Every structure is written in structure tokens, then in C-alpha cells.
Amino acid sequence: MIDWVYMAEIALSGLGSAALLAMTGVAFVLIYKATRVVNLAIGETLMLGAYLFFGFTSGMELPVWLAIPLVLLCGGLFGAVIERVMIRPMLGSSALSVFMVTIGLGSILVGAVELIWGLEPHRLVSFISEKPVFLGPAYVSPKTAVAFAVSVAMIAVFLAVFRFWSGSLALRATATDPGAAYSCGISVPKVYSLSWVVACMIATGAGILVGAIGGLSSSMGVFGLTVLSVVIMGGLDSILGVLLAALVVGLVEAYAGALLGGEYKMISTFTLLMAMLLVRPHGLLGSAEIDRL
């Protein structure tokens, strides 16, 4: 006999993690779209956000309403600095070299966090009400509900800006042909910088939510690997594809975790990724590059 309420509860928690995956995935795609950099440090950026929040609230004992904008501010600043000193000098070198630089950046972040906050896991101050949320008979953890609402709102704002702001045309132009965009009067360095700033703000913001749900540890950047699979499944440069893939991965992970056991979460994700790559190498909605011979 299947317990439908239980199944619905799993789906709801899956939706919560799907929203977080989608939010971080959007940050990843933004950087990839604008600068063609595969940023493997996105998971560590998220970790940095969580630890900064921990530092502001538990260490400096700032109120939560102040700590959140501070984390986002630091995230944006971090993005700007990294883009300017690590990524821009690599402009024009092979994609693989830049990719390696982002792996290095990830290691540096893990090391820095361990040096400052130590190896042992931490818990964030609880700032989300503990009152359980019920959707009909199904129970949703309040943290998951908040994470879901915030992520969805953030993605909606992002999509609206992307759709209606004339400046986003400049981003798309830069993405397709930086040289032509540059000579059309678009300040390409500004576009690069802006995309890193916004993406890192989103990632650190997601870090606060992920940290609030699962606690902090220096290995929480592994979340970035799941995000990477989501992004590859979605097609690297398609925001809609990432949203769809996040939904699928979030739900599959939730069911695998609940029905088979926690250790099957990652296995199911990567099995899905492999199957996907066999069937559609360009991802769900990715653009296939067609070369004319």
C-alpha cells in the first residue's frame, strides 16, 4: 500500500532542493553565458556565503536582517575581485586553463574557510521560524518552504530583468560575439564584471539557505557538483533548461534518498547525468553548435 501523503511530502522536500539547485544553477549559467567560463568554484562560493553569514551572526553577533545584505554585498565584491584579478588576465587562454583556475579558486576557498572557522561542522543561528507548514495533510519543513519561496522569487526577478531590461541585450550580444559587441559600443569588461558580481551574489545568497537547512562544513561545496550536473543536463547556456533539470534532479534525489537511502542521492544524480549525455549530448535545451564544413 503506497502512502500518498508520504510520497507528497518527499516531492515537496524535493521541490525545495530543486529550487536551491536552480538558483545556484542560474548563477553558474550567467557566468558561462556571459564569459564562457565553466566556474567550478560555484559550490565553494556558496560555502563562502554560508560561512560569512555564520561569521556575521555567530561571530560578530549582528542581527540577521543586517547579516543577509552584508553577505550579499561581500559576495558581489568577491565576484568583482575574482573576475578582475583571476579571470580577466586569463582572457584568450584556453577554456581548460580557466577551468583549472576555478578549481584552484575552489581549493583556496576551502582552505581559507578551514583556517578561519576550523574543520568541525557548524550550525547557523536559527532565523527561520520552526513552526511546521502543512499543505493539506502533507508536512513541509519550514526551512525548505522558506528556501523554496526565496529561490523562486529570486529566479522570477532575475528572469523578469533578463526579459525586459534593454541592457540584457548587451549581455546576449557579448555572449555571442564579444569582439563585435565591443565595437558596437558595448563595454564588454563591464558586462563580464557585472555577470560575476550578480552570479556570486546569487551563490552566496543560496549558501545562506543551504547552510540553514543542512548546516555548515568545509565540504558543503560538494553541492556544487550536483549543480554542475544540473547545469550540464539543462544544456550549459539555457536558463530554462537549468530550471527543468533542477526540477528533475531535485525530485529524483528526494525520492532516491527517501526510498533507497541517503547514499543513493548522488548515485541517482550522476546516473541521470550519464543517461542524459548519451541521449542528448547538448543537454535538454542547450544549443548545439553546428559547424559548416
Partner 1 sequence: MSKHDGHASQPILSIENLSLKFGGIDALSNVSFSVQPGSITALIGPNGAGKTSMFNCISGFYKPFAGDIRFQGNSIRQTPPPLRAKLGLARSFQNIALFRGMTVLDNIKLGRHSHIENNLFHGLLYRGRARREEQALSAEIDREIISLLDIAHIRDEPVANLPYGLRKRVELARALAMRPKILLLDEPVAGMNREETEEIARFILKVREEWGVTVLMVEHDMGMVMDISDHVVVLSFGKLIAAGRPQEIQSNPDVISAYLGADAAGQLKRADAGEVVQ
Locate cell 552570479: which residue? 199
Candidate ranges 4-12, 93-101, 174-182, 269-277; the one touching partner 1 (CB under 8 A): 174-182
Under the binding rule (CB under 8 A), the answer on residue 167 touching partner 1 is yes
Pick the closer one to partner 1 by CB: 36 or 122.
36
Under the binding rule (CB under 8 A), the answer on residue 154 touching partner 1 is no
CA distance 256 to 234: 20
Maximum distance among all alpha carbons in the chain?
A: 66
Residue of 61, 176, 279, 291 interacting with partner 1 (CB under 8 A): 176
Angle value at C-alpha 30, between 35 and 152, nearest 5 degrees:
175
Under the binding rule (CB under 8 A), the answer on residue 100 touching partner 1 is no
Pick the closer one to partner 1 by CB: 119 or 169.
169
Residue of 116, 161, 222, 274 interacting with partner 1 (CB under 8 A): 161
Under the binding rule (CB under 8 A), the answer on residue 228 touching partner 1 is no
Residue of 10, 34, 109, 181 interacting with partner 1 (CB under 8 A): 181
Residue 177: CB minimum distance to partner 1, A: 5
Under the binding rule (CB under 8 A), the answer on residue 172 touching partner 1 is yes
Residue of 184, 222, 259, 275 interacting with partner 1 (CB under 8 A): 184
Pick the closer one to partner 1 by CB: 95 or 161.
161
Angle value at C-alpha 156, between 153 and 161, nearest 5 degrees:
130
Q: Give me the residues paired with residue 140 across strands.
A: 133
Residue of 129, 183, 219, 271 interacting with partner 1 (CB under 8 A): 183
In contact, 43 and 231? CB cutoff 8 Å: no
Residue of 180, 259, 260, 267 interacting with partner 1 (CB under 8 A): 180
Residue 55 has a CB neighbour count (10 Å cut-off) of: 19
Q: With the C-alpha atoms ordered 245, 270, 104, 120, is the resulting torsion angle positive or negative?
A: positive
Pick the closer one to partner 1 by CB: 102 or 238.
238
Contact partners, residue 239, CB within 8 Å, separation at least 6: 26, 29, 159, 162
Residue of 186, 213, 228, 284 interacting with partner 1 (CB under 8 A): 186
CA distance 23 to 15: 12
Angle between helices 95-117 and 42-54 (to 10 degrees): 20
Residue of 77, 125, 169, 222 interacting with partner 1 (CB under 8 A): 169
Positions 269 through 288 that interact with partner 1 (CB under 8 A): 287
* Phi, psi for residue 127 in degrees, rounded to 5: -120, 0
Contact partners, residue 144, CB within 8 Å, separation at least 6: 12, 13, 16, 17, 213
Residue 172: CB minimum distance to partner 1, A: 7
Pick the closer one to partner 1 by CB: 186 or 276.
186
- Residues of this chain that bind partner 1 (CB under 8 A): 161, 164-167, 169-170, 172-173, 176-177, 179-188, 287
